[in-house]
Structures are given as structure tokens and as C-alpha cells.
Amino acid sequence: RAPRKQAGHTSASDQCEITSNMSCYAGAIHTGRSVIPVTQVYCRRTRSNAEDLVLNDQKIDYSKIDEVTEDGVRLFKVLMRLEFALKDAGYVVAGQRQAAEVQWDRYANEKLGSVFWNEIKEATSAAALIETPPKRQVVDQGGNLAWEEAGAVKSVQELVGALRRVRNNLFHGGKSGDPDAERNAKLYAASLYIIDQILREDDIVQTIFTGQY
């Protein structure tokens, strides 16, 4: 039943819902059983079928995501699986709110160590990541996005850190218009090569990574 105006108040049925895009003002609301004084009644506006039709027909342009190359997509997948393998192998610690976090530094130093580093730093296929690692995306004092230079990699721990930064810049949006865009292909290739060498070095992690256990 539609509401009707009475002296000093508005009358509405028990199940009536007022819909409007304007605020409603009245002295009171009459529910049929009692009079409830109010100073202002805010009424929500319902969406029309025409509005739903416009939203459903909206076209989203996803072409920018295709700028990520096949190697970039592969790197994301490979590192996803590597993180799983490292956690399953015991290189994991409880972080904030008990979230499982990979112990990258511990793995680099305890498992890979100086022997692995001395071999990998001589490999031409790893040169792009070692000599000119990706920059770090930071927020400057003015609150603006900026890029921070990263010096040449000098240890196995820094190597693993640079490897993760390639992934982070890609996954967290830094690779959309970043200054390393021309080097992306080389960084992806070097990262995939290093991960391949890590898996060859560590039989346990390789077994978990491949699922052959």
C-alpha cells in the first residue's frame, strides 16, 4: 500500500519500502500501529533495469596484459611452484598473523652457499641478473612512486633477492611502464636459467617441484 500524507506525518504500510534519490522529510512515520517522530528519513534508490543493461554491456580492454611475454608468464608459474617446494622442504617460518613465509635467505646461505655462487656468477646466461639486477620500486618522501638503483649482485643471498625482485616487479605492477622494460626479456631468461640450476643443485626441492614423490 502506498504511503499517504497526513497532518504532521507520513503514513506508510508495514511492508512499504520508499525508494527515491532524494532525502525525504516528514514530521513522523505512521506504521499503522504507532506514530514514530523523525527529523529526516533517507531513502535508498533502486537501480533500474536500464542501468543494469548498461553495466552488463560494458566492454573492458584487457590488451595491456598481453604485454607480458611468454617468458614472463612462465617465470611467475615457475617461481610459484618453487615457493611451494621450498615450503614443503621445510624452509618456512611463521610471519605476521602466522602466515607461512619462505625463508629465502636461509635457503640461499645454508643450501646453495658459496659453491653454487662461485659457479653461477661465471655463467653467461646469468649475467643480466648479476651485473644489472632490476631496480626496486619505492615510494619517495613526497609519496610518489620512484625507482631505486640496485648494485651488482655480490653474493648468493643477493642473487636470490634479485631473482625475487624480478618476480615482484612483474606481479605487483612495477613492470607496467618500468624503466627496465627493454631488459625484461634478458631478466626473465636469466631468472629462469638460475632457477633451473637451483633445481639441479637440490634434489629434494627438485623432487617436490616436479611432484615425483
Q: What is the pLDDT of residues 28-59, one digit of tens each?
A: 545 555 555 554 444 455 555 555 555 667 88
Does this model's pTM top 0.85? My answer is: no
Residues 79, 167 contacting (CB under 8 angstroms): yes
Residues 146, 139 contacting (CB under 8 angstroms): yes
Distance CA 10, CA 25 (A): 9
| Cβ neighbours for 33, distance < 8 A, ≥ 6 positions apart | 14
Residues 162, 121 contacting (CB under 8 angstroms): no
The label of the residue with cell 631478466 reads 187
Residues 198, 205 contacting (CB under 8 angstroms): yes
Distance CA 30, CA 169 (A): 60
pLDDT of res. 33: 53
For the chain, what are the domain ranges?
A: 4-46, 65-210
pLDDT of res. 57: 75
Local confidence pLDDT in tens for the 213 residues of the chain: 555 555 555 544 444 444 444 444 445 545 555 555 554 444 455 555 555 555 667 889 888 888 888 998 999 999 999 999 999 999 999 988 999 999 999 999 999 999 999 999 999 999 999 999 988 888 888 888 877 888 899 999 999 999 999 988 887 665 555 555 678 889 999 999 999 999 999 999 999 999 997
Q: What is the pLDDT of residues 108-136, one digit of tens each?
A: 999 999 999 999 999 999 999 999 998 88
pLDDT of res. 148: 83
Number of other CB atoms surrounding residue 29 within 10 Å: 19
